[in-house]
Amino acid sequence: MPVWESFRLALQMIRAQKLKSGFSLIGVFIGVASLIGAWSIVNGVNRYMTEKFAQTLFGVNTFQLRRRPIFTPNVPDSVWRAWRRRPRIQFGDAEAVTAAITVPVITAWQSSENVSVFYGDKEARDIELTAASERYFDIKNLRIAVGRAFTAQENRSGVPVAVLGDAVAKRLFVDRTPLERNVRIGGTAYRVIGVVEKQGSVLGFPLDRFVVVPARSPAQNLVNPPGVLDALLVKASSEVEMREAMEQAEGVMRSRRHLRPRQDDNFVLDTSEGVQQFWAGISRILIVVLPGVVIVSLVIGGIVIMNIMLMAVTERTREIGLRKSLGARRRDVLRQFLAESAAIASVGAVFGILAGIGLTMLINAISPLPASVSPASILLGAVMGTGVGVIAGVYPASRASRLDPITALRQE
Amino acid sequence: MTAPASLAQPFHTGDTPLPDIIILTHKLARDYDMGGEVVRALRGVSLQIKRNEYVAVMGPSGSGKSTLMNLIGCLDTPTAGEYWLNSQKVSDLDDDELARIRNKEIGFVFQTFNLLPRATALHNVELPLIYAGLGARERRDRAARALERVGLGDRMEHKPNELSGGQRQRVAIARALVNEPSILLADEPTGNLDSTTSAEIMAVFRDLHGQGQTIVMVTHERDIAAHAARVVTLRDGVIATDQRQAA
């Protein structure tokens, strides 16, 4: 009997006993659905982390000279205290590092603080005010939607002009043009010269609630003590050049801080690697935990299917005897029951795959997690689901195939 | 005790039966081990059945007729002796070869019909052809022809529960015939039928016999056995009588 014939027979059997088959495939269903759902989250967040989050935070081939790392999960108190004792980054440091880097790079200063921005009687609260130099927009890949960014000249002379994030413009001006209007930040009037394109959000954090002003404008007093900045952003045109620029920056900073060779750096050259490493750690945990959950449900699913198949063998003993008397060989009977077991599991896997895809779409719709179905997970789900069916079917099928036709036919 | 000489050619171990002898058993024996105690169900049965014979096997329960039936049907293997079916020595074949013999050479008809309840008449009749490895189209054609042969050409898509007892048994006969077997082996074929329907089935058997089919039928009913041309009676695992009779 050809394999597809057994499979067709098996599907008939499933259709004839919908309820029983439904219960028997629920384990495989849950296993495969959770495999695909969880994998989709890991996969989606992974892509987000590497493609968008890290890029948004840092930019490509970009490092930041800072007092401490920007992304600091799970840091012990002692390390925090050490970081707080470090000296701040001075304007002079930024200038010296910029001057010392020989590879072609673009640099920008950056200091940020949360403030309120006013226009007339309207207030936009909890806005990230960034005092930056003019190349900040290039490094952060912030494109201007309306108006323009500020110039190097405006930055040097600290002219009070402001470039708004999309959400701020919408909040304060609704649908009127913000250009040439004056917004108030910390009591100083800033002339709006541009609005940045909408950035959307990352993991639920909005990216459009910001205002960028020149680093030497009066806002400097709001973000940092005089002469101090949060970070010097350095963007190179390749990974190799970035590494070289980092070495040069480290050398300059160490000599400016008079560090002896055995002393550690009291500053950091932070890259997106830190974020990515942290995420890689989380996803490694997920990748260890996830198979556990999936395997448990598949094992349970397999046991359920095995029991159902053993029941089927008992119930259909006469049928097996009959088939043998009509010329079915052991391997025909074996194949029939294996196919049936595999068919139950495959149907469970198919529903599980559909549910997993549905789950992914649901997660995308109602949560900030950027889930995305991985084709590999569908393949793995299908293979594992069917595999469980085959493995669970081996014992019942071999019992069926070894039945003695005479005894089987006499069975009531 | 051996079979009367008039009905059997002399046969010795090592011989090959004549081609017109479809069934030949030589000193066939079957012992069962019932928890340490050996039950000798058959104690040397030598039987020869020619092509197109119609034989009834009778005997009280415990006489060994079911055991003989199982051996002739290749569902069981003998403890000793030889069994030749259609010039092929089947007494020392393995499991898979026996399955092939059952598929090609033997058509079973059971007392309880043994139809698959969820399958149509047509699919039930197709079953042996599936194991013979035939394609779907040829299976359908041959199963349909077999059903027509037993007068059920208009009931092909019916399921067993939509058929009467006599119709079910005719589906089973069609299934037995579909592979054109050497012998039709019927085990109490009328045991679950009333006398009118029994007569109907016996008429089908008579027609098949008329068309050249070899039939071996186990029964304990004398009037059913009376339809056969030859009656073999077993007692205590050996042949007691073996007589031809007028049909």
Interface touch A330/B95, C-beta < 8 Å: yes
Tokens of A30: 């849950």
A241-264: b (≥16 Cβ within 10 Å) or e: bbbbbbebbbebbbebeeeeeeee
Quote the minimal CA–CA distance from B115 to chain A in Å: 8
Query: What pLDDT does residue A292 have?
Result: 82
Tokens of A412: 């009531």
Interface touch B108/A318, C-beta < 8 Å: no
* Nearest residue on chain A to B126, alpha-carbon basis: A326
Query: What pLDDT does residue B8 have?
Result: 65
Interface touch B103/A1, C-beta < 8 Å: no
pLDDT for residue B7 is more than 70: no
How do residues A40-51 score in pLDDT, each as one tens digit?
Answer: 888 887 777 776
> How do strand B214-218 and strand B54-58 relate by DSSP bridges?
parallel
Query: What pLDDT does residue A86 have?
Result: 93
Interface touch B132/A325, C-beta < 8 Å: no
DSSP state of A51: I
> Tokens 């050259």 belong to which residue?
A269
Mean pLDDT of B39-48: 92
DSSP state of B168: H
Does A20 reach chain B within 8 Å, measured CB to CB? Answer: no
pLDDT for residue A226 is more than 50: yes
* HEC readout, B123-152: HHHHHHHHHCCCCHHHHHHHHHHHHHHCCC
Residue B161: which domain range?
52-77+96-244
Angle at A181 between CA A129 and CA A217, to 5 degrees: 40
pLDDT for residue B2 is more than 70: no
Q: Tell which residue, A128, A214, A236, A120, has the closest CA to residue A173.
A: A120
- Domain harbouring B58, CATH code: 3.40.50.300
Interface touch A16/B118, C-beta < 8 Å: yes
pLDDT for residue A59 is more than 80: no
d(CA A180, CA A192): 5
Q: Tell which residue, A236, A186, A232, A233, has the closest CA to residue A211.
A: A186
pLDDT for residue B82 is more than 60: yes
Q: Under 8 Å CB-to-CB from A56, ≥6 apart: which residues?
A: A140, A199, A202, A207
DSSP state of A50: I
> Tokens 């309207």 belong to which residue?
A122
Average pLDDT over all residues of chain A = 88
Backbone angles phi, psi at B117, to 5 degrees: -65, -30
Q: Where are the domains of chain A?
A: 3-52+276-410, 62-270
A105 bridge partner residues? A236
How do residues A187-205 score in pLDDT, each as one tens digit?
Answer: 899 999 999 999 887 767 7
Q: Identify whether B88 is part of a domain.
A: no
Q: Identify whether B237 is part of a domain.
A: yes
Q: From the CA atom positions of chain B, what is the Rg in Å?
A: 18
pLDDT for residue A85 is more than 60: yes
Q: Identify whether B228 is part of a domain.
A: yes
Mean pLDDT of A198-226: 88
How do residues B196-218 score in pLDDT, each as one tens digit?
Answer: 999 999 999 999 999 999 999 99
How do residues A299-343 score in pLDDT, each as one tens digit?
Answer: 988 999 999 899 989 988 999 999 999 999 999 999 989 988 988
Residues 116-145 of chain B with CB under 8 A from chain A are 116, 118, 127-128, 130-133
Query: What pLDDT does residue A280 have?
Result: 78
Q: Do A54 and A324 contact (CB within 8 A), yes or no?
A: no
Query: What pLDDT does residue A1 have?
Result: 55
Q: Identify whether B163 is part of a domain.
A: yes
Least confident of A3-12, A81-90, A122-131, A397-406: A3-12
> Tokens 């294996």 belong to which residue?
A338
d(CA A307, CA A319): 19
How far, CA to CA in Å, does B87 sit from each of A173, B49, B83?
103, 12, 10
Interface touch B104/A327, C-beta < 8 Å: yes
d(CA B114, CA B124): 10
**Number of domains into which chain B is organized:** 1
pLDDT for residue A16 is more than 80: no
Backbone angles phi, psi at A212, to 5 degrees: -110, 130
Q: What letter represents residue B201's amino acid?
A: I
Q: Tell which residue, A68, A107, A73, has the closest CA to residue A91.
A: A107
d(CA B105, CA B98): 10
Residue length, chain B? 247
Question: Binning pLDDT at 50, 70 and 90, where does residue B29 land?
Answer: very high
Query: Best mutation site among A326, A335, A398 for testing chain B: the one with the most B CBs within 10 Å?
Result: A326
Does B98 reach chain A within 8 Å, measured CB to CB? Answer: no
Quote the minimal CA–CA distance from A329 to chain B in Å: 6
Mean pLDDT of B26-52: 91
Residue length, chain A? 412
* Nearest residue on chain B to A330, alpha-carbon basis: B96
Q: Is A276 exposed, middle or buried (0-12, 13-18, 19+ CB in 10 A)?
A: middle
How far, CA to CA in Å, does A32 sit from each of A23, A307, A342, A345, A401?
15, 20, 14, 10, 30
* Nearest residue on chain A to B69, alpha-carbon basis: A406
pLDDT for residue A235 is more than 60: yes
For residue B175, which residues of chain A lie inside 8 Å, CB to CB?
Answer: 326
Tokens of B191: 């045991």
3-class state of residue A113 by DSSP:
strand
How far, CA to CA in Å, does B176 sit from each of A2, A290, B13, B110?
22, 55, 31, 10
Interface touch B110/A409, C-beta < 8 Å: yes
How far, CA to CA in Å, does A155 sit from each of A21, A89, A309, B63, B218?
72, 19, 77, 115, 110
Query: Best mutation site among B123, B127, B177 for testing chain A: the one with the most A CBs within 10 Å?
Result: B127
Q: Is B107 left (phi over 0), alpha (psi -120 to 50) or beta?
A: beta
Does B107 reach chain A within 8 Å, measured CB to CB? Answer: no
DSSP state of B108: E
pLDDT for residue A15 is more than 90: no
How do residues A251-308 score in pLDDT, each as one tens digit?
Answer: 999 999 999 999 999 999 988 877 777 777 777 777 777 778 888 888 988 999 999 8
